[in-house]
Structure 1
């Protein structure tokens, strides 16, 4: 049997790679390689749905969200012009909650946790290649922080190098699409009626999301539709300021104006992708390297943690040095992971397109506003608690078909509503039905 330097090498110490490493048994010797270990300042990965918190607890890692002023998120307030209503997680399941946090602080907590573990080596370096022997991945080549060329071997390599993954194309058949861009700022000194709720503003042509990330900070994410990034020139920023100020609730406007005039507006692409991994022995894709969805619903970390749990279950009792057993475990993970994440993917991509369609947006707002199962049902899916695809589709089509009499009184509008709903959901379901391995 070949002798390896490590049992597992993890490429990337982001949310996926860091939490995966932290979740492993102490008897596994692990090397984690991260390109940049300085604390990042990002606008992604800052809203964790209740199932994400539950998943951390299941892995014994709930402490990772403690100690850096993360904020409880109790549900949502939906805003369309002067119309507003609230939906609380407690109505779905009394006791569940989400959390808003600063991505950089969360990553620092994860990295400090794995640094403290004697079985894990965390190094700063840029992985440049996978080492293969007889078509089996047996390690990595990387350049360390001192500029030295290094090589390390392992029985298993876990690739978690994020949305802009370098290794994705070498290990899978990706179908990555840019669906829109998020422009992000931090709003400070807000005095909100419901400070612990995420605020979904659908007044304009594209949605705006506001949620707490620390005790005096709310992340605002403004969607910019299309595949091309927004222009950030002086005139464009001034126009942007006027347009967004017109759709924000009045209590948010002063803070927004102050932020856009004094802080740097950050822009990030929003991707949709479900890659199909190749049958490559000794390596596995995890997190955004394998699967992404529109971030409107904050489902990314939930999906990633569900993937980690799925992979850990597949590896349970498996000797990673037994190549045949390892290959079967990895294939099992790829083949079964969709059961835990497909509703998160479908809802995220579908809801974004619904909010971009004027008629469907109106219908969705009206449906959720009714309360009862019409609001708690969709919220249970968004929270990641309910992962029943048939239940999701039932509510999706009920939004479009909630007024059957309109087929008689408003036939053109109702038929357009139905056709648009089908046009949204059909390609999403087709993409989601693709297996995660080829």
Structure 2
């Protein structure tokens, strides 16, 4: 049988009998990427999605350079074209009105300091990220999947998995598909040797197969600013002050996304103070750069509460079920402050596709082999995922500082960035998914902690004449160091668990 005949037979098998090598649940970031990667290897793939309309969501709008690199490795770099994607060259941090630019490091600079890394930019110069409308990018990914002869995309709502009666092994999924002639939903089934569940942050299967539930302490409320002059064009802007952080990044020629972090039970966002809109108008608006304020104020004139998304933390879990794996945001999430979610997802796909290659795993129905691969995958992915997970959560703790010690660490972090050189290249290289050495994160975090302690000592004692305040300075320094440990070690420990 020729290759074209084999593909045609598999297509018929998928269309008529609903059978494939792999069933992927969710045609989002992870689902599309893993479906495309496995199909390129010759696997037959069914890609199931509840709605194939272009999504209109405020998540997944910034792709770090490490994610762009992974997209290139997958053969999906073209999905960034034709969607009015904006280059991202780094970050601008504004701390109580003071600004510091933290550009992505040049490849040569990063390599010289931390050894070899997996990111290369063949064009030379500094690496770039991309920012865009999430829905447009998803549409491009789905088009790429639709062009693959080994993929069949089906619009159907997956409601449950199908488990063998002979042993606890997942054989596929149950779904409900709308009959276009009647508009009624009918029960359906799809079968595969391996079922990949990638149904996002609100996964309906997480409780069944993971057990862990996301921790949510705040929400991002989103505005779309039109023709907004940013303090540093082509840079993500982080605004720090008395309120929780605000993010600004351009997602189109005329559109800029503003994300306002609002913790739970925030007094300034209470009903008595006008709720979320009251907080945004009374607290956030005055704290923004002057050139941003007119566009921001225009965006809140409609009187509506802005759309929101939960800022979730979900530590990763080893996948040991038979016939099914849960991946993407359904398995692991971190605070979106650093925009690392898609970078983790695409790099996970690169790694997993390599580990599931036909020459290594000829039969995806070999559950023991799949379980072994998933156990190895859990630990191998941590070279990147643990860095982005820990960094996102630790930085959020500092940037949303709500006590004296966290404020001291926040100030120390900003002054660390002001020093430039490796004090910028190291942290932003980690954030960008370029540096993949967890020790580098540990080093820079505690360098910030010790700088914060030095600042506390200076401010507490004032001068040599204030030497009598030395015991007080030591006490406060110990508290700052303890707070730094309290911030980072729980997230380190969460990455060390299976």
Scaled by the length of structure 2, what TM-score is found? 0.83
Partner of 2:331: 290
CA distance in 1, matches of 2:452, 2:390: 24
Which structure dedicates a bigger proportion of its chain to helix? 2
Partner of 1:394: 443
Partner of 1:5: 19
Which structure dedicates a bigger proportion of its chain to strand? 1
User: Which residue of 165, 171, 178 maps to 1:138?
Assistant: 171
Give the alignment of 1:317-328 within 5 angstroms: 317=359, 318-319=361-362, 320-328=364-372
Partner of 1:254: 294
User: Which residue of 297, 300, 307 maps to 2:341?
Assistant: 300
Q: Helix, strand or coil: the match of 1:36?
A: coil
**CA 1:116–1:232 in 2, change beyond 3 Å: closer, same or farther?**
farther
1:180 aligns with 2:180: no
Q: How far does residue 168 in structure 1 lie from its aligned partner after superposition?
A: 1.1
Q: Helix, strand or coil: the match of 1:54?
A: helix
CA distance in 1, matches of 2:178, 2:203: 20
Partner of 2:151: 120
Q: How far does residue 360 in structure 1 lie from its aligned partner after superposition?
A: 1.2
User: Which residue of 228, 232, 235 maps to 2:274?
Assistant: 235
Q: How far does residue 67 in structure 1 lie from its aligned partner after superposition?
A: 0.5
**CA 1:427–1:153 in 2, change beyond 3 Å: closer, same or farther?**
same
The list of structure 1 runs, each at least 4 consecutive aligned residues, that deviate by more than 6 angstroms after superposition, is: 227-234
1:427 aligns with 2:470: no
CA distance in 1, matches of 2:476, 2:254: 44
Q: Helix, strand or coil: the match of 1:173?
A: coil
CA distance in 2, matches of 1:82, 1:304: 34
Scaled by the length of structure 1, what TM-score is found? 0.94
**CA 1:365–1:116 in 2, change beyond 3 Å: closer, same or farther?**
same
Q: Helix, strand or coil: the match of 1:68?
A: coil
For structure 2, which runs of at least 5 residues remain unmatched after alignment?
Answer: 1-16, 111-124, 180-184, 462-472
Per-residue displacement from partner, 1:349-384 (whole Å, max 9, x unpaired)? 000001123111111111111101111110110011
1:245 aligns with 2:285: yes
Q: Helix, strand or coil: the match of 1:143?
A: strand
Q: Helix, strand or coil: the match of 1:401?
A: helix
Please identify, of 335-344 and 285-294, the stretch whose mean Cα deviation from structure 2 is larger.
335-344
CA distance in 1, matches of 2:217, 2:437: 25
Give the alignment of 1:5-24 within 5 angstroms: 5-24=19-38
Q: Helix, strand or coil: the match of 1:191?
A: coil
CA distance in 2, matches of 1:6, 1:403: 56
CA distance in 2, matches of 1:51, 1:227: 35
Count of residue pairs the alignment pairs up: 433
CA distance in 1, matches of 2:67, 2:436: 13
Q: Helix, strand or coil: the match of 2:142?
A: helix
Per-residue displacement from partner, 1:156-200 (whole Å, max 9, x unpaired)? 000101101111111123142003100001111112342111111
CA contact (8 A) 1:277 1:285 kept: no
Per-residue displacement from partner, 1:86-132 (whole Å, max 9, x unpaired)? 11114456330111111111111111111222211111111111111
**CA 1:338–1:241 in 2, change beyond 3 Å: closer, same or farther?**
same
Partner of 2:191: 153
Per-residue displacement from partner, 1:228-282 (whole Å, max 9, x unpaired)? 9967899321442121111100101010010011385111101001142452111
**CA 1:36–1:363 in 2, change beyond 3 Å: closer, same or farther?**
same
**CA 1:328–1:403 in 2, change beyond 3 Å: closer, same or farther?**
closer
User: Which residue of 60, 84, 108 maps to 1:69?
Assistant: 84
CA contact (8 A) 2:453 2:480 kept: no
Partner of 1:411: 474
CA distance in 1, matches of 2:351, 2:424: 29
